[in-house]
Amino acid sequence: MISIGFSMILLPGANAHSPALNIPTYAFCSASPNPIGIGQTVFVNFWINMPPPTASAQYGDRWENMTVIVTLPSGTTATLGPFKSDATGGSHTTYIPNSVGNYTFQMIFPGQTLAGNNLTPGTDPSTIPNIGDYYQPSKSNVYTLTVQQQPITTTSVNALPTNYWTRPIYAENNNWYSIGGNWLGLGESSFATTGMYNESTNYNPYTTAPNTAHILWTKAEAFGGIIGGEFGSSETSSNYYSTSQYEPKFAPIIMQGILYYTMYPGSSTNPAGWAAVDLQTGQTLWTKNTTDVLVCGQILDYVTPNQYGGLTYLWSEPQTSSALGAPSSTLEMWDAMTGNYILTITGNPTMSYSSLTEDEHGGLALYYVNSTDNTLDMWNSTRCINLASGGSIYGAGPSLADSWQWRPPQGASIDFGLGIQWSVPLAENISGNSLIDYANGLFGLSMAGVESGVVLLYEELTPMSETMPVFSYSSGWIVEAGYSAATGQQLWITNRTETPYSIVALGASQNLGYFTMGNGVSVEITQSTLSATGYSLTTGKQLWGPITLPNANPFDSLGLQSVVANGKMYLWGYGGDVYAIDMTNGTIVWHYKTPSGGFESPYGTEPLWVFTVGTIADGKLFVPEGHMYSPPLFHNAQQLALNITDGSVVWNIDAFDTTSAPAISDGIMTTLNAYDNQIYAYGMGPSKTTVSAPGVGITTSTPVTITGTVTDISAGSKQEAIAANFPNGLPCISDASMSQFMEAAYMQQQMPTNLTGVPVTISVTDSNGNSYDIGTVQSNANGFYSLTWTPTIQGNFTITATFAGTQSYYGSSANTAFYASPTSTAVATSQPVNLVSTQNYIMVGIIATIVAIAIVGAILSMLILRKRP
């Protein structure tokens, strides 16, 4: 309403005025809820009657130094602020009262001369007549708030779901954000163009994750497995192309419960378009025939006075001829729901997009080194499109309507340069030594990554022929520098002494396993000495180390990789070692070692893949085993799920993930299995319970046999092979049996003979309305269960069979009913009873009884007399 009411004020006049004006202002203040209870949060809103005349979305002046005076019931006062307004001229804060009584709130605006700060790029200040005008001080109304002893009731919030759920998440369930994290693919998995959670790590803190190996569905990404026929059983030539570590076939993006990926049925130089797949069911929603490859997803939470809320986009770049995916000079924007094309960003520096991050509203922020002029540049997608929408497209310059409403121009070609938010010169020397000497292999600082508000850059001389940083051998030194991610200001620069001719990795990177950063710390790993050292990202100073990795397998020196979560670095090596290291002090928290690899393994253990293939979510580290190079094909590789608290194995299953990390969103993990080139989705699935009982012939003395089934109704249960092999339904199996059962059901492995089912509780509601459990039984390997029970009273009974659920399945229940008759008694004759003669029958019966007694007495007397001597 404010933005609409003052839209006329914001339109600049045709001519500047002189002298400057003194303009009165009017202030307002409010607090709510009113009344409120002690200790509850009060929302205090305050504003000036007019927005700053130069304000336009994120640009222009703001009213400054606003304060709120709070007068307590005791008469004492407190000052809140100072505050700066938003574009509408208002702001807000919170306050928590601690005593009963009346509080008053009043906002004070001290007055301000409009300076023309932070104007929309390209705006000529001389065209804005209000610059230089003085906006007079004002005081708001005095607002009285009543505080009572008893807290007021708050809107109830639905608990996190315990039953099966899908997107969309209903908007009132705000707390579900904690399990509704997306996977935007802002970082590049090894040799891919996308696939990582963000630019520095694969840790998704906003989701649950599978606690068992239960499979929801599988989907072919390319032909896979054994070719058959004339290609025989050779481990070097009998399989379809799937295990190349340099040409990843699956690099996922997940938004709004939809899995997006570029399809590579053949070589990585021939992408076959994109697929959009329902994460819960594996159903293909749409495909796009394009040679572009996906770069990332975006959820833009656009917030202005006229518009707020999220919008989803996909970003892509044209495929190059290089198998490693050389960077492109264009970016294309697509609608994520439909796959429809929107616009193109052109003139991009030819660089990797591995340093894409999000700003606070989901705008894409790209940090890169412009080698032409040796600057560190920061580009923002929202700025770029906003300026194009108001300038190069409509030709009128950014205006209120253009920037307060998000309107990406359809079919537009937008200059990349419009989005450059700042550009700062980079250091060209350190301690008098030049960092740029092309003839001698010095090319200036290069991007390492962005973390904790710091852009980390580095330079090292590579004495060997390799040019990729992950394989470079140190010449004995490395220059590192930290720059502010907010402003580009240099924070520090230093030259570190290194172990000569050793592979020195600054941890694990966003695209080739190189930089480990998190919690304000950068970790440097020297692979030849198997040691680690921690440095502060904000100062560059050493915090701890070097520490030597204890009991490390020598094969760890061939490759190390890591993920950072909750203040710890989880580091794994090619030799099968996994370490949890405290980022603040370098303490080794735990060490896990994979078991022996048996006859096939020359490593002594089951080796761990060491590209960007590890993911952390919900307290578990998901990391795959496997031989790094093939052929021969490595057998019995496992997808591991390790508890990040103690390193214990939560679950594992036969699988061979080659280059991309599992993507985890909405509690579902998706990953490619190179053994059959299928995408596997792991997570809790829905179940179906049935129950039946005899419908007739039941009495209070008749045992009743109650039977039923508990089956898995995940989407995979309807896949052709599963439905054919389990025509009566895929049974629900215990968590302890899950991995082996899933291998048999989905991976053509042997069916175990010791499978156990799941518990089913049977309860009844009798004819008196009483409800009670009558027993808990275990289903068998076919999902069947039975229970025999005898009703104790007559009448109608309702039977309920309840499967409460496990870590693999959501629960389900079913009902049936029967009638229990009273126990039947034998009838002497089938003739009808004559009610009129009842007394006669009674008299005859009495006489007959007396006669019978007399006869018995006489016989007994005679027998006694005969026995006398």
Nearest Cα neighbor of 206 from 254, 259, 260, 155 is: 254
Percent of the chain with pLDDT over 90: 59
Burial (CB < 10 A; 0-12, 13-18, 19+), residue 209, is buried
Structure tokens, 193:
């163009």
C-alpha to C-alpha distance for 783 and 779, rounded to whole angstroms: 5
- Residue 29 pLDDT exceeds 60: yes
Pairing assessment for the beta strands 134-135 and 22-23 based on DSSP bridges: parallel
For residue 537, what is the DSSP state? T
- The overall average pLDDT reported for the chain is 85
Residue 14's pLDDT is 39
Mean pLDDT to the nearest integer, 127-153: 94
Kindly report which listed range (727-736, 738-747, 835-844) carries the lowest average pLDDT score: 835-844
Comparing 68 with 823, the larger pLDDT belongs to 68
Sheet with strand 42-48: strands edge to edge:
27-32, 42-48, 90-95
C-alpha to C-alpha distance for 397 and 399, rounded to whole angstroms: 6
Residue bearing tokens 């693919």: 185
Nearest Cα neighbor of 31 from 17, 45, 20, 19 is: 45
Residue 656's pLDDT is 86
The partner residues of 569 in beta bridges, in order of sequence, read 564, 581
- Residue 804 pLDDT exceeds 60: yes
Query: What's the pLDDT tens digit per position in 533-580?
Result: 999 999 999 999 999 999 999 999 888 889 999 999 999 998 999 999
Give the SS3 label for residue 457. Answer: strand
Mean pLDDT to the nearest integer, 652-661: 86
C-alpha to C-alpha distance for 77 and 168, rounded to whole angstroms: 47
Structural element, H or E, at residue 623: strand 620-624
Residue 95's pLDDT is 97
Band of the pLDDT at 858, cuts 50, 70, 90? Answer: very low
- Residue 511 pLDDT exceeds 80: no
Query: What's the pLDDT tens digit per position in 358-390?
Result: 998 999 999 999 888 899 999 999 999 988 876
Query: What's the pLDDT tens digit per position in 156-203?
Result: 888 999 999 999 999 889 899 999 999 999 988 877 888 888 887 899
Look up residue 836 and give its amino acid: V
Residue 17's pLDDT is 64
Pairing assessment for the beta strands 90-95 and 134-135 based on DSSP bridges: unpaired
Sheet with strand 22-23: strands edge to edge:
22-23, 134-135, 112-113
Give the SS3 label for residue 856. Answer: helix
C-alpha to C-alpha distance for 152 and 239, rounded to whole angstroms: 67
Residue 602's pLDDT is 75
Nearest Cα neighbor of 619 from 651, 595, 572 is: 651
Nearest Cα neighbor of 299 from 353, 253, 332 is: 253
Band of the pLDDT at 824, cuts 50, 70, 90? Answer: low
- Residue 435 pLDDT exceeds 70: yes
Residue 305's pLDDT is 73
Is the link from the previous residue into 631 a cis peptide, with omega within 30 of 0?
A: yes
Query: What's the pLDDT tens digit per position in 673-707?
Result: 989 999 999 999 999 999 999 988 899 988 999 99
Kindly report which listed range (9-13, 35-39, 590-594) carries the lowest average pLDDT score: 9-13
Kindly report which listed range (96-110, 486-500, 848-862) carries the lowest average pLDDT score: 848-862
Q: Is 723 left (phi over 0), alpha (psi -120 to 50) or beta?
A: alpha
Residue 351's pLDDT is 65
Cβ atoms of residues 710 and 688 within 8 Å: yes
Residue 842's pLDDT is 37
Structure tokens, 306:
């006229």
Q: Fold for domain 2-148?
A: Immunoglobulin-like (2.60.40)
Give the SS3 label for residue 519. Answer: coil
Residue 543's pLDDT is 97
Architecture of domain 687-820: Sandwich (2.60)
Q: How far is CA 477 from CA 100, 311, 361, 391, in A?
A: 65, 46, 39, 48
Range picked from 396-400, 447-451, 692-696, 852-856 for highest mean pLDDT: 692-696
Band of the pLDDT at 320, cuts 50, 70, 90? Answer: low
Residue 74's pLDDT is 95
The partner residues of 262 in beta bridges, in order of sequence, read 274
Angle at the Cα of 777 (from 772 to 783), degrees rounded to 5?
A: 125
- Residue 635 pLDDT exceeds 70: yes
C-alpha to C-alpha distance for 744 and 741, rounded to whole angstroms: 5
Percent of the chain with pLDDT over 70: 85
Q: How far is CA 858 from CA 855, 861, 863, 866, 868, in A?
A: 5, 5, 9, 13, 16
Give the SS3 label for residue 562. Answer: strand
Q: How far is CA 32 from CA 38, 79, 104, 150, 829, in A?
A: 13, 18, 12, 16, 86
User: Can you say whether the dihedral through the CA atoms of 376, 381, 384, 386 is positive or negative?
Assistant: negative
- Residue 204 pLDDT exceeds 60: yes
Q: How far is CA 455 from CA 435, 508, 714, 745, in A?
A: 18, 16, 44, 48
* DSSP per residue, 769-806: S-EEEEEEEE--TTSEEEEEE--SS-EEEEEEEEEEE-
Cβ atoms of residues 178 and 617 within 8 Å: no
Query: What's the pLDDT tens digit per position in 749-775?
Result: 999 999 999 999 999 999 999 999 999
Range picked from 99-108, 195-204, 526-535, 856-865 for highest mean pLDDT: 99-108
Query: What's the pLDDT tens digit per position in 208-251?
Result: 999 999 999 999 998 988 888 988 887 777 888 876 667 888 99
Q: Please, where in the chain does CATH 2.60.40.1930 lie?
A: 2-148, 687-820
Residue 651's pLDDT is 98
Q: How many CB atoms lie within 10 A of CB 174?
A: 12
Band of the pLDDT at 327, cuts 50, 70, 90? Answer: low
Cβ atoms of residues 708 and 814 within 8 Å: yes
